[in-house]
Amino acid sequence: MSREKEITIYDIARELDLSAATVSRGLKDHPAINKQTKKKIADLATKLGYRSNNFASNLRKQRTNTIGVIVHELNSQFITSVLAGIEKVTTEANYDLIIGHSSETFKKEAANAMNLFHKRVDGLIASLAYDTEDLSHFEPFAKKGIPVMFFDRVFEQSETTKVVINNYKAGYEATAHLAAQGCKRIAHITANLKRNVYAERLNGYRQALLDNRLSYDEKRVLVNDLSEEASAKAARQVLAMKPMPDGVFITNDFCAAVCMQVFKDAGKRIPQDIAVVGFNNDAICKIVEPKLTTVNYPGIEMGEIVARNLINHLHGVSNIHLTNTIIIKSELIIRESSMKKQT
């Protein structure tokens, strides 16, 4: 209720008959300060409830020890695990984190970028929104020499550093698996092909079809925004295809779960009538029936790697401008939804 006076190093200095400089050094364990003096300072600081003023400190140091993160959405297992990985590394390195989310819109992504820019983060980690078309909103960072790293949703052609999985390979393996299960007409439900992850998976899908002597048919590729409504619509489109596909590779687990629901409502059996493979290995995979075959995405590892690289760069240990792309392993997890052939 009653606002206490804020304690500063000057208060501590006065009380101990020291200079503010000594208190400042003492508080951060500077080697030139006497051990006992340090203890006296620390004790009094605790007693008075001193808290360091970040603003004064950052103003003077011209650094913030803060890293900004921009993600497209928060409510996904994948993103949450990436954040956990980033947090682990940044906390160890004593950096603070400011997390912003774009709700999949370019507008909010740009607003977040500007916000973090004004907050003067020392570095930025980002995954692009659904409809981001260019990276101009990250240019202020480049101009000021603030490192930016992308993960997952990146611009493949850009010069910035990025951490990704091999989406081409993942798409290839998912599709090849369906082919190996005997599927002859494999559809693909995906999202905005401007996003590298989806474009690459589509490429993998196509190559796997060709390598398995299955024809690639544009009509079997459906693009939507992965919302519940769009997913259901895509599923109905699959059902309406003639002949109906006997397998479908879907680029997102939630979308796949919705599709499965529609397929089952239409009386189709999974995997007998239509086999399904999703992507991400979200918790939902084990809840849907049958359990969903999917591609496991090592989120924590991805977060750790992207954060570690950024911090190494900030510490001058390495230079991210030399390492352009880091590829992380992913793997197909086979469950019932695609097991046409019983083992």
Of the candidates 219, 237, 296, 252, the one whose C-alpha atom is nearest the C-alpha of residue 104 is: 252
- At its nearest, how many Å lie between its own copies and the CB of residue 39? 22
**3-class secondary structure, 280:** strand
Contact 292, 257 (CB under 8 A): yes
For its own copies, which residue of 84, 180, 317, 327 counts as binding (CB under 8 A)? 84
Nearest to 181 by CA among 1, 339, 20: 339
> Of 232-261, which residues contact DNA (CB under 7 A)?
none
Report how far Cα 229 is from the mean position of its chain's Cα atoms. 24
Q: How many residues does the chain have?
A: 343
88 binds, among DNA, its own copies, none (CB under 5 to 8 A by kind): none
- Shortest approach of DNA to residue 36 CB, angstroms? 7
Contact assessment for residue 12 and residue 45, using Cβ atoms and an 8 Å cutoff: yes
Vertex 161 angle, CA 250 and 77, to 5°: 40
Residues from 9 through 48 that contact its own copies (CB under 8 A): none
Q: Does residue 56 belong to the site contacting its own copies (CB under 8 A)?
A: yes
Of positions 8, 37, 65, 103, contacts its own copies by CB under 8 A: 103
How near is the Cβ of 13 to DNA at its closest, in Å? 7
Among 45, 88, 97, CA closest to 68: 97
All residues at 6 or more sequence positions from 202 whose CB lies less than 8 Å from its CB, including other chains: 171, 188, 190, 193, 221
Q: Which stretch binds DNA (CB under 7 A): 19-27, 148-156, 173-181, 238-246?
A: 19-27
Identified binder of its own copies from the candidate list 9, 79, 89, 311, rule CB under 8 A? 79
316 sits near its own copies (criterion: CB under 8 A): no
Cα–Cα distances in angstroms (integers) from residue 280 to residues 14, 103, 107, 317, in the given order: 59, 19, 26, 33
Cβ neighbors of 31 (< 8 A, separation 6 or more) are none
Q: Which stretch binds DNA (CB under 7 A): 11-19, 90-98, 140-148, 200-208?
A: 11-19
Q: Token pair of 260, please?
A: 């499965």
237 binds, among its own copies, DNA, none (CB under 5 to 8 A by kind): none
Residues in contact with 337: Cβ distance below 8 Å, sequence separation at least 6, in sequence order: 256, 260, 270, 271, 275, 276, 277, 278, 288, 290, 291, 292, 293
State which of residues 39, 48, 49, 56 lies at the interface with DNA (CB under 7 A): 56
* Given 49, 52, 225, 228, the residue binding DNA (CB under 7 A): 52
Of positions 14, 21, 182, 269, contacts DNA by CB under 7 A: 21
- Interface map 244-283 toward its own copies (x if CB under 8 A): ----------x--xx--x--x------------------x
Contact 312, 280 (CB under 8 A): no
Does 35 interact with DNA (rule: CB under 7 A)? yes
- Of 79 and 314, CB closest to its own copies: 79
Residue 336 DSSP class: G
Instruction: Work out what residue 27 binds among its own copies, DNA, none; the CB cut-off runs from 5 to 8 Å by kind.
Output: DNA
The DSSP 8-state label assigned to residue 293 in this structure reads B
Q: How many other CB atoms are there within 10 angstroms of residue 130's CB atom?
A: 20
Among 2, 46, 62, 75, binds DNA (CB under 7 A): 62
| CB 53, min distance to its own copies, A | 7
What does 79 bind: its own copies, DNA, none (CB cut-off 5 to 8 Å by kind)?
Answer: its own copies
Which spans of this chain sit near DNA (rule: CB under 7 A)?
6-10, 13, 17-22, 24-25, 27-28, 31-35, 37, 50-53, 56-57, 59-62
Which spans of this chain sit near its own copies (rule: CB under 8 A)?
1-4, 6, 49, 51-56, 58-59, 62, 64, 73-77, 79-80, 83-84, 96, 98-99, 103, 115, 117-120, 140, 142-145, 228, 254, 257-258, 261, 264, 283-284, 286-289, 321
